[in-house]
Structure 1
Amino acid sequence: MDLRIGIQNSPRELSFETSQTAAEVEQAVAAALSGQSPVLRLSDSKGTVYVVPAAALAYVEIGTEEARRIGFVG
């Protein structure tokens, strides 16, 4: 699934693919925004961990969980 995270006062966004489900990502974002966790911690499909301070989150865009099709579809 593709994720895009906007960070306040930063011209670039974090964009990566994760193996976590949409529900797991949504739960982590909700915990960070509600103050239960001071940071949003997510990992991509290669194992890289991204840690963003909850106060700096501008937006989180959660893509679909469908696998990308490669090649020609008939």
Structure 2
Amino acid sequence: MDIKIGLADTQRELSIKLPEGQENVIATVEQAIDSGAATFKLEDDKGHVYLIRTERVLYVEQGSAAARSVGFMR
């Protein structure tokens, strides 16, 4: 599953490919912001860990886990 996080003061967004079974990422980010935590961590499918400051998060976009088919269908 792909997730994109828009951060303040940057034109680029942070794109992370998450391993299967992490459908609750938006809830994790929302809980970190609501609780007043300074940071939260996300780990991608290759084991890279991202430490993100909650005050810099503008938006979170969660993509679908299903692969899209390419080509022509009959």
- What TM-score do the two structures reach when normalised by structure 2? 0.79
Q: 2:12 maps to what in 1?
A: 12
- Structure ID, larger Rg: 2
**Equivalent in the alignment of 1:32:** 32
Residue-by-residue CA offset, 1:18-47 (whole Å, 9 max, x unaligned) = 014222x02211122102532121111000
- Percent identity between matched residues is 31
Distance 1:65 1:37 in 2: 28
Q: Tell me, which stretches of 5 or more residues in structure 1 are unaligned?
A: none
- Unaligned 5+ segments in structure 2 are none
Tell me which stretches of 4 or more aligned residues in structure 1 moved more than 6 Å. Answer: none
Following superposition, the deviation at residue 54 of structure 1 comes to 0.4
1:73 deviation in Å? Answer: 7.8
Aligned residue-pair number: 72
User: For the structure 1 residues 40 and 73, does the alpha-carbon distance in structure 2 shift closer, same or farther, using more than 3 Å as the test?
Assistant: farther
| Aligned-pair Cα RMSD in Å | 2.0
The TM-score normalised by the length of structure 1 is: 0.79
Secondary structure of the residue aligned to 2:9 is coil
